[in-house]
Every structure is written in structure tokens, then in C-alpha cells.
Structure 1
Amino acid sequence: MDAAHIGRRIAYWRDQRGLTQADLGRLMGQSRRWVQDLEGGQRQTDPRLSVLQRAAHALRIPLERLVADTPPPTPATTLPADVAALIDSLYAPSPSGRAVPVDALHRRIAFCCQAWEACHYTAAARELPSVLADAHHTASTSPAAAVLLSRAYQLTASLLFKYGNDARTPAVLAADRALAAAQQSGDPVAIGAASRRVARGLMHQQRYSAAAEYATASAETLRPALEISGAPGLSTLGMLYLVAAVAVTGDGRSPRTVAEATDKLTAAGEVADQQGEQSADYTSFGPTNVALHKVDVALRLDDAWSAVESSADITPGALGALGRERRARHLVTTARARALTRDRGAATRDLLDAERLAPEEVRRASVVRLVAELMELVPTPDVELTGLARRCGLPA
């Protein structure tokens, strides 16, 4: 076997998994320099089978993927036109909007939030540039208007985070602007909600420890004010703990990260018990959402079997009460877990269910890569999987 060829294959799949060399080193029990040498073909002239097996296991791919001549086909990752236009609007020299009545601005932002929750991402993206422009001109009129500007930027950040690396930088910019507007308003719910997006931005920059610390500190600082703010405040508080739990997993599985993630989930669960299922501000926060995050955290900590088991504890009725965006995102998570536990038929069914709920969620690049992996892993893909692959722009 050609060591340089194998090294390039490992680097390719590491990049597909969104891992740094240090991340892969932790998964394999090695240093970043060791991985760097392995990918450069300098670790050994003829890589041992045991090393390749460990790399394949860490990268969650069949061993033969490391010795194949060509990488599997991947779809083009061009952004939808409306999303690209939204990004462009963030860099406009000055917003061209006008001051509008606060109640009219509230209705327009509510429409965008409802489009988001229904997974009509491009519809929300189409409206947001004009909403942001008008919100900028209205924000100085009252604290309530500044809250609306923050909410518009929060939604912009959440939407752009959906599109991964292609939209990461403008998403982080939107999150920072959301926090600035929230601080201008002085509203603790707005500050907490914007802080959650800032923490997400840190995660997308692979600054996981900073994200967990920031989300936790925001929750603890704002907690007294949020606890007396009703469902919106409790939903915001609980979501900060959930974001912290997810952020902790970015450092890889270890006794410390498992314990810290469990602590954050427990804190979120206590807030959910205090609030009940009465979510607010399109967060879907409540006991069911905490249960969904337990599934996600288990998967991120490389425990796909526990993720599948935890998902079985969530009743269809509880899941069905959540918004489409949250339900579809959970189905994608369970599909990933089932693929890792080799239940690929169930993984396909989850993705098809997610597509029926939210086609735009399944067309995102990270989900399309999962479909491509299933096409590689299933010896004889059935008509449902090949049809899904075609709809995702993959050859089938």
C-alpha cells in the first residue's frame, strides 16, 4: 500500500467529518503530530492494517474507503440564492430601510420565525434583508424595537448556521450584532437568546471550551432575571444549558466531558421541570427537547448505541408536539446514530421521514453527505434510498 495515498485518504475523510488533526489524534489515542505524519505518508512506508482499522473506526467509514482509488461523489455546496442575498445584505454599507411602527415590525419578524420553524428557510431568508434594514432604522425608537432588531439578527444567525462552513463567518457576524442590539435594549431574555447564538458561533469556529464556558456563564449571570420572566425567560435559560452541553462534546469523549455534559443536561432538565412543555420564542424548549438533546449529546460523544436507546424513550406524541424544524433535526440525528449502529434501513427511514417534514433540512450539505455515506455503505441500495439520493443531487 502507498503510504502517501493512504495518508491523503485519511486527510480527506477527516475533513469530511469536520475533524482537526488534534481531534482525530484524540479519537485514536495519539498526538496531533502523529496524525500529521500519518497523513503526510511519513509515519511508516507500509501502513499496518491495525493502524488503518483504528483510523477507519475513528472516521466511521468502512476500511475499504481508505484504499479506494477515488473519493465518493459529493454534491456541489452552493448556497441557495436567497441565502446568498441575505449574506450580501449583512455587508451593505448602510441599511436602506426606514423606521416603521413597532407592531408592524413585530408581525414581519413573527412571519420569518414561523417560516423558520416550518423549515421554509429560503422563504425566511428572502424576507430578512428588508426586515433587518427597517429594524435598524426603528431600533433607536424604543427598547422594544431594539429587542426586535436583536431577534431578527438571532434568526439570521440560526438560519446561516444551517449552511455550515459556507455561511459560518456571516452567521457569527449576525450573532454578534444580535447581542449588541440585545444589550442596547437591556432585556435579559433578548441578551440570553443572543448569547446562545454567540456560543453557537464559537462552536462553529471549533472553540468548544470557550463556547461551553460562555453559555454557562451567561446562564448563571442572567438566571435571576430569566427565572422571573415567565416561559420566555425559562426557555432561554434552559436553552443556554443545552448549548453548553453540546459544546462540551466538542473536546471528544472522556470522563470529564461525559460528566460535564451530563451536568449541563441535568441543569436544563431542572429548568424544564420548572417550566413544563410551555415553550416560548420558537425554542421548543421543555422536557422533550431536553430528551432530544440527550440523544444528540450521546451521539456526539461517540455512543451511537446509547443515542438510539435514548431516542426510543421519546414518545411519538411528545415528539409530534414540537415544531417541524426541531422534529426534522432530531430525525437526522437518529439517522446518523442508526447508520453507525449498522441499522441502515432504519437510518434511511428516518431521513425519509425528515424529508417529508422538511425537504430543505435534508438538502443541507451535511445531511446530503450522510445520504452519500449510506449509498456507499449499503451493498444494494433500495429504491427509496436511491430516490432520496437523486433528490439530494447525488448520482444513484
Structure 2
Amino acid sequence: MDSLHFGRRVNYWRTRRRISRADFARLMGGKSVRWVEELEGGRRQADPNFSVMTQAAQVLGITLERLIAEAIDADCAQDSEVEAVRRALQRHDIITGSFDDSSADPVPVAALHRALTYARTGFQAGHFAQLGAEIPRLLVDATRAARHHHGDDQLTAYGLLSLTLELAEAAAIKWGCTDLAVLAGQRAVIAAERSGSPVIMASAARHLGDAMTNHGEAAAAAEFVLAAARRLEAELLRAGPEGYSVLGMLYLKAAMAAAAASEADDRDPGRQARRVPDYLDEAGDQAVRLGRDDNLLWTSFGPTNVQLYRVAAHVQLSEGADAVAVASGIPGTAFDALPRERRAHLLTDRAIAEKQAGLREEAVSTLLEADELAPEEVRCRPRTRALVEDLRLLGVGSAEGRLRMLVERCGLPR
């Protein structure tokens, strides 16, 4: 077992058991909190020591087999975890940045970046529920850091605060809380402006655009992200690969917003729909400029992600057969190199496309494949649960037995 997978399993169960890192360190024989951070981040050793694995299982109160199992049961985020993020965003000190009553030193920006990287890695691995515990702590630490650091460290802290708020936005989308996503996205844009970094500004803008689209404000979202692209384009092109990545993502979000706006426009749906290919092509130009698939600033941007968005746009426009054709053309090696969240997201988009195209048995198989990759993407997301319900109502022929398995895994009434 590789150390990163083992570390994520330890974090998953430690968070689920509500054991702090400090307490876990003590229970592991007086280790330091930094030791736990390195263990959970996969940085302790290439191969986890068997004695460490056994002791961790005992401390966490589970069998070793369950601790190291490849598939994590999908424990969806509970209302209490979602509300913990909402409460954090509503705190006076977080809204105002006023942390004057504490004499403790702010978290160093390097440590803050490590913690954020860890949480973002979890998101991209498809582990969304545990973010309900991680995001509030990150918000407090990042807000305090932005308040108390000075000079370049303060600018960096504002950038990290913006990226933390982006993570809150992205998690809220997965949880189906679009109002929370818009709130976090708006705060991310404000923090990004204070960072002074065009790359961070563009990154925050694309997240807010995504939140607005999911919240039913697609036309406004398209205008917003395009305005950000026009304003920041020259600086982003000078910024190099990170700039190309976030600029490309702005155009991808513009494409999705335009597709959603088209679906909502009863008078002239074609007006917005005609713009979708242009925005996708603009993103494709940035992918060519980047020259590779990469994950700079957690964008997963590159030629393959542009194809993923082409699939998603066709799905949004109810062009299922076209979406299936694009998905089928993505090379397996490129697909396998994507983070699990991206792969599972593509598969769920493909399953929706297959339903649209009347390929319902294939849709069940595709959903089961996605469930193996990232269970929370299938079992916990409202849009995917709705797809399972639709397939049950429509009928899936010889796939009925496998569909019942999905129904049970999603916890849907039989």
C-alpha cells in the first residue's frame, strides 16, 4: 500500500471518529502533531510500517483490513457538517477579519499552504464529507494569517484565504448547497482582490461563476467570468502556465454558464447555445498554450479537461449522443491520469448522456464504474441520485439487478 493512500485512510477514520490530530498523536505513543500531519499527507515513508498500520487501526477502533481497504464507504456529509461550514462563514471575526483578542501567533503561510494542499488533495480524491470538519479550521487560520501577517506574507495569506473559500464553494456544490457556494464564492473574490495576484483573482472568479450557474444565475455567471477574463487576460498570459490554466478555466466556466442559460431561455435558447463552442475553443487555445495536462492551482486544466467540459456542455444542452461520442474519444491514458474527482465527474456526465441517448443499460454500468472510483460523487450528490431515480422509473432492461445495487448504495427507498 502506498503511503498517500494509507495517510488518507487514517485521516478519513480519524475525522470520522472526531479525534484531533493532537489526541491521535498522543494515542500513537506520544508522537508530535507534525508527525501525524506527515503520516496523513503520505510523507512519512514510501511504504507504511506494518506496526504503525496496526497501531493506527487499534487507536481508530477498526480492523486493519477495514483501515487499508481500497474503497471508502461513502459517508455523505451530514447536515451538522454542512452547517459547520455555514456557521464559520457567518462568524463575525471571519467576516470582518478581526482577530485582535488573541495573542497567539498566526499560522505561518507555509504551514497554511500545506494544510490547504492536504484538503484540496482530499477533494480531488473524491472525499467531500470530511471537508465539513477541515474547512472551518482552515477559514479561521487563513483569516487570522491575513489579519496578522505583514508585507508579502500578508498578500500570500489573502491568496490562501481566497483558495480556502474556493474549496468551501466547491464542497458546497458537491453537497448541493448552492446558496452556500455563492456566499463562499463571493468572499473568495474579495479575498483574491486583496491578494493582488491576477492568477488568484481569476481562480476565484471561475469558482464564483460556477456557483452562480449552479444557483440558477447562469446568464449573470457567463457575463461575470467573461468580464474577469477580459480584465485579467494580459496579466494572465504574462504569468505563464498558472495564468494559462486559470484563463482557460474561465472560458470553460463561461461555456457551462452559457449552456445552462440556453436551457433556461424560453424565448431564444439558441442565442446562448451558439456561444458555447466559441468559449470551449478559447479554452482549447489556452490548453494548447499550456501544452500538457496539469493540475496547477488545482485546476486539472489541459487538453483532457477541455474535452471533459465539452462532454458536460453537450449534456447541459441535452445532446446526449454528442456527449457520448466526445467521451468515447478521450484516451484511456489521459483519463487515468486525471484526479479521481475529475474521472468520476466525467463518468457521471457520461451516464446522464447515455440516459439522454436512450442507452440506459450502459448508463448503469457507467455509474457503477464511477462509484468504484469515488463513491461520494455517486451516492451523495443530488444530481446523481436523481439520475438513479430516473433510471429506475424509465427501466434499464437487463441491468435491473445492477441498478438495484446502486439504489441500495445511494440509500434510496426501494
TM-score, normalised with respect to structure 1:
0.77
Secondary structure of the equivalent of 1:233? Answer: helix
- Partner Cα distance (2:311, 2:228) in 1: 24
Partner in structure 1 of residue 126 of structure 2: 119
1:394 aligns to 2:393 (yes or no)? no
Q: Give the AA of the match of 1:144.
A: T
Give the letter for the 2:393 counterpart. Answer: E
- Measured after TM superposition, the shift of residue 204 of structure 1 is 2.6
Equivalent position of 1:108 in the other structure: 115
Report Cα offsets for 1:271-290 as digits up to 9, x if no partner: 00000223311111110111
Shift of 1:256: 2.6
Determine if the alignment matches structure 1 residue 152 to structure 2 residue 164. Answer: yes
Give 1:252 deviation, angstroms.
2.6
8 Å CA contact 1:179, 1:191 repeated in 2: yes
Deviations 1:4-43 (CA, angstroms, capped at 9, x unpaired): xxxxxxxxxxxxxxxxxxxxxxxxxxxxxxxxxxxxxxxx
CA distance in structure 2 between the partners assigned to 1:81 and 1:384 by the alignment: 32
1:136 is displaced (CA, Å) by 0.5
RMSD value, Cα: 1.8
Q: Deviations over 1:326-354 (max 9, x none)?
A: 11111000000101111111101111111
Residue aligning to 2:318: 302
Q: Tell me, in whole angstroms, the C-alpha distance in 2 between the residues paired with 1:138 and 1:251.
A: 39
Distance in 1 (CA, whole Å) between partners of 2:168 and 2:313 is 25
Q: Is the 8 A contact 1:86 1:128 kept in 2?
A: yes
Whichever residue aligns with residue 249 of structure 2, its letter is: M
Q: State the secondary structure of the residue aligned to 1:122.
A: coil
Same amino acid, percent of matched pairs: 36
Aligned-partner Cα distance in 1 for 2:79–2:239: 37
Instruction: Specify which of 126, 138, 144 is matched with residue 145 of structure 2.
Output: 138
Residue 231 (structure 1) aligned with residue 231 (structure 2): no
- For structure 1, which runs of at least 5 residues remain unmatched after alignment? 1-76
Where does structure 1 differ by over 3 angstroms across 4 or more consecutive aligned residues? 77-81, 95-98
Structure 2: gaps (5+ residues): 1-75, 264-268
Match of 1:202 among 202, 205, 212: 212
The CA distance in 2 between the partners of 1:329 and 1:388, in whole Å, is 16
2:349 to 327, 333, 341: 333
CA distance in 1, matches of 2:187, 2:279: 27
Structure-2 separation of matches of 1:150 and 1:384: 42
Deviation track 1:357-394 (CA, whole Å, cap 9, x = no partner) reads 11111121221111111111116553221011011011
The alpha-carbon deviation at position 257 of structure 1 amounts to 2.5
The question of 1:82 aligning with 2:81 is answered yes
Q: Which residue of 1 aligns with 2:403?
A: 385
Paired letter, 1:388: L
Is 1:79–1:163's contact at 8 Å kept on the other side of the alignment? no
1:371 aligns with one of 358, 380, 388: 388
User: Quick check: 1:360 aligned with 2:370?
Assistant: no
**Whole-angstrom CA distance in 2 between matches of 1:373 and 1:219:** 37
Whole-angstrom distance in 1 between the partners of 2:339 and 2:256 = 20
1:288 aligns to 2:304 (yes or no)? yes
**Aligned-residue offset at 1:78:** 8.2
In structure 2, what is the Cα distance between the partners aligned to 1:235 and 1:201?
19
Measured in 2, the distance between the counterparts of 1:291 and 1:325 equals 15
The change in CA–CA distance for 1:260 and 1:92 in structure 2 (over 3 A counts) is: same
Per-residue deviation, residues 97-150 of structure 1 (Å, max 9, x unmatched): 861111111111111100100011122221110111011110131101110111
Q: Which residue of 2 aligns with 1:5?
A: none
Which of residues 222, 228, 246 in structure 1 aligns to 2:256? 246
Contact 2:170 2:207 in 1 (8 A): yes
1-structure distance, mates of 2:211, 2:374: 24
TM-score normalised by the chain length of structure 2: 0.74
Aligned to 1:323: 339
1:130-181 CA-to-partner distances (Å, cap 9, x unmatched) read 11101111013110111011110011111101222xx222211111111111
